[in-house]
Amino acid sequence: MRHISGLLLFALPVLAACSGSNPADVRDEGTTFPVVANWTATSAPVAPATVNGTLVVKQRLGFHSDASFVVTGPPNTAFQWRIFKRDCSVNVAAVNNTAATGLIVFSTTQAYPDVTLDATGKATVTSEIAGWLDSLTPYSVRIRPTATTTFTGVSPAACGNLAYAPVH
């Protein structure tokens, strides 16, 4: 009995210490994870298109990134955008998601809401994108007019290469 009582006396303070939560340690919202890298890109029009955009991506711990994309172009026009693995010099779709060559979309298509430009020809779209951009891999952001077919990144209306900057 004495042995059990001693264990209880030891265990109670430990359990009491664990029952409270330290707000500094609890992170259950994606935006509370620290930013570990910044990515930027300016997508330039591919003739004859006139659409362009500026992308800012804040990569966070927790396997996600916050993206903000400002797009300008023809008023009242809808566009699709995606981040692709490979730079703007690549203009062929990959045969599958593990191919060593060709364009591979980063994350899922649901991560990229369509952009509809207003009457002045401008729009800003934000998105949380699941995944981890690798600083040793080239990426590009590509824009095309909204269509019903799958966006493979080939022949975009605008393209820009992502630039990586670590957070110190």
As a whole number of Å, the CA-based R_g of the chain is 23
Q: Is the pLDDT of residue 27 over 90?
A: no
3-state secondary structure of 87: coil
**Average pLDDT, stretch 71-84?**
98
**Confidence band (pLDDT; 50, 70, 90) for 7?**
very low
Q: How far apart are CA 107 and CA 81, in angstroms?
A: 12
Count CA within 13 A, CB hemisphere, residue 145.
8
Q: What is the mean pLDDT of the chain?
A: 87
Fold classification of 26-166 (topology level): Immunoglobulin-like (2.60.40)
42 burial via Cβ count (<10 Å: 0-12, 13-18, 19+): middle
pTM exceeding the 0.75 threshold for the entire prediction = yes
CB distance 84 to 71 below 8 Å: no
pLDDT one-digit tens code per residue, 124-161: 999 999 999 999 999 999 999 999 899 999 999 999 99
Residue 3, pLDDT score: 54
Q: What is the pLDDT of residue 137?
A: 96
Mean pLDDT value of segment 63-76: 97
- The residue type at 150: T
Cβ neighbours of residue 121 under 8 Å, at least 6 residues apart?
A: 72, 73, 74, 75, 77
Residue 74 has pLDDT above 60, yes or no: yes
What integer is the mean pLDDT of 16-37? 62
Residues 40 and 55: their CA atoms lie apart, in Å, by 5
Q: Among 27-31, 57-61, 100-104, 108-112, where is mean pLDDT lowest? A: 27-31
Which class for 167: exposed (0-12), middle (13-18), buried (19 or more C-beta within 10 A)? exposed
Q: What percent of the chain has pLDDT over 70?
A: 82
